[in-house]
């Protein structure tokens, strides 16, 4: 298996960092756009889609700033996916920066997946 490469994508949002953070860090928020259902027990999150289930560990959580998860099958590796909220000090524009890792030949697919997921999130927030 080849090493995964890190990539980041930035999305503009018309929503408060506090509201956006709820959709990035809580099981109920994540189940609105990221997965069909999300459960958590402490730092361990279970993401459910149709007939599949993936477990992730919450590595970092800083209120209204960032959330970092690591898929269970990536434990021991330096791979994670992270949601970071950035607010421009002057304009107060809110951006969501997503960092993830992908195999090089799956990079475009991964970016398209995030584009679709974030599009769903913007619809849920009414922030498109």
Encode pLDDT of 59-103 as tens digits: 999 999 999 999 999 988 999 999 999 999 999 999 999 999 999
Q: Using one digit for the tens of pLDDT, what is the confidence trace for 8-48?
A: 999 999 999 999 999 999 999 999 999 999 999 999 999 99
Task: Report the pLDDT value the prediction gives residue 2, as an integer from 0 to 100.
Answer: 67
**Domains detected in the chain:** 5-121 (3.30.530.20)
Tell me the whole-structure pTM to 2 decimals.
0.93
Q: First-to-last CA distance in the chain? A: 38
- Residue burial 96-115, b: 16+ Cβ < 10 Å; e: rest: bebebbbeeeeeeebeeebe
């Amino acid at each position: 298996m080849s090493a995964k490469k890190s990539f980041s994508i930035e999305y503009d949002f018309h929503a408060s960092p506090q509201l956006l953070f709820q959709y990035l860090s809580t099981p109920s928020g994540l189940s609105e756009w990221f997965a069909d259902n999300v459960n958590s027990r402490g730092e361990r999150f279970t993401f459910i889609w149709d007939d599949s289930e993936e477990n992730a560990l919450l590595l970092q959580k800083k209120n209204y700033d960032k959330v970092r998860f690591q898929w269970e099958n990536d434990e021991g590796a330096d791979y994670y996916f992270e949601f970071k909220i950035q607010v421009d000090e002057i304009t107060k524009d809110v951006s969501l920066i997503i960092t993830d890792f992908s195999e090089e030949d799956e990079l475009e697919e991964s970016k398209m997946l995030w584009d679709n997921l974030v599009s769903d999130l913007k619809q849920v927030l009414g922030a498109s």
